[in-house]
Amino acid sequence: LAHLSLSRSSTTADLPAGHQIRIRPPLPLLGFLFLAVPVMGTKRKRGWEDDVSCDLCQGKFKRRKVDGGSSTATEGMREPRLVLVLDLDHTLLHSIRFDRLPPQECRLLFQEPRLPDLFKTWLGMIVKLRPFVRTFLREANTMYHLCIWTTGDRCFAQEMVRILDPKGLFFSPGDVISRDDYKEKGRKGLDVVRRGDERTTVILDDTEEVWDKHLLNLVQMPPYHFFSYSRLKLGPTWRPPSEGGEDEQEVNGPLWRALQLLRRVHTMFFRPVDSRDDLRTRDVREILSELMK
């Protein structure tokens, strides 16, 4: 984070090539392989979620029990949480249809020893999770209410969540949003996000233009590419990890660095206050601006 800097036009983390995190300028005031086949119509088991909502108008916190059942979802949760909206493809994972994989790449992917965090799905797709994603979700969940927002369809969103969160620890059904839930094609908005107040919501996404209404909340991630099909975008000289190229690192990779940023945002937002009124003046957009100076 010491290497992150802010400019008036855009903000770019000074990271190695391909590992940059960009944040829009603030306001002036400021692989293992298995078949992931879901059982349609089966209700996922969930424990109770410690839903800590920040009552900014009253300047206090309140804790309420949402579901009955076991406390596995957020057992031990003590800190109040902000909201974190996460994109799927190229942010937390890379997915591709099987018919876009050349035969040679298929052989490499399915040979032993198999790559970690690699999944086949009933949608006719293969999915590679981004390095560090499971640790990222587990740690971020202690500080943020996690929400998925994808421009993919509902089936895609649900299947990716089953892979990312097989035990249902991080995402409830109401926190998984797809293009089927939004009227503006090719756009995303916080108006369909539970608790989606701009003052308390951080967005992680590799695509900037879909968030034109909430650019000050956006932490733009470098897109994650794993399969050779991405040569169409990255150029013929790019060597994909699926063919032996170098994959991202767990430590010091984009998700690891994003987690450090999210920790600092959370710490600064919930720093001790002298009066209750102080809490309602806090804004994650201003905090992001301060961290990027």
Contact predicate 150/203, CB 8 Å: no
Q: What's the whole-model pTM score?
A: 0.73
Instruction: Look at residue 20 and tell me whether its pLDDT is greater than 60.
Output: no
How far is CA 177 from its chain centroid?
A: 12
Instruction: Look at residue 192 and tell me whether its pLDDT is greater than 90.
Output: yes
- Identify the pLDDT of residue 82: 97
- Identify the pLDDT of residue 213: 95
Q: Quote the percentage of the chain above a pLDDT of 90.
A: 51
Task: Quickly state the pLDDT bin for 37 (edges 50, 70, 90).
Answer: very low
What's the pLDDT tens digit per position in 232-249? 787 888 888 887 888 999
What's the pLDDT tens digit per position in 274-284? 765 577 889 99
What's the pLDDT tens digit per position in 156-176? 999 999 999 999 999 998 999
| Cα–Cα distance for residue pair 40/37, rounded to 1 Å | 9
- Identify the pLDDT of residue 139: 98
Domain chopping of the chain, boundaries: 11-291
Q: Look up tokens 């957009």; give the residue.
A: 285
11-291 folds as Rossmann fold (3.40.50)
Structure tokens at 136: 């990222």
User: For 264-268, what is the mean pLDDT?
Assistant: 96
Structure tokens at 51: 């839903």
User: For 129-143, what is the mean pLDDT?
Assistant: 98
Task: Quickly state the pLDDT bin for 218 (edges 50, 70, 90).
Answer: very high
How far is CA 102 from its chain centroid?
A: 29
| Cα–Cα distance for residue pair 285/265, rounded to 1 Å | 9
**Residue 86: closest CA among 201, 174, 6:** 201
Structure tokens at 91: 């942010």
Q: If you average pLDDT over every residue of the chain, what do you get? A: 77
Collapsing DSSP to helix, strand or coil, 273 comes out as coil
- Identify the pLDDT of residue 22: 58
Instruction: Look at residue 90 and tell me whether its pLDDT is greater than 80.
Output: yes
Q: Give residue 260's identity as a one-letter amino acid code.
A: Q
Which has more confidence, 37 or 188? Answer: 188
User: For 192-212, what is the mean pLDDT?
Assistant: 96
**Residue 94: closest CA among 190, 253, 222, 235:** 222
- Identify the pLDDT of residue 55: 35
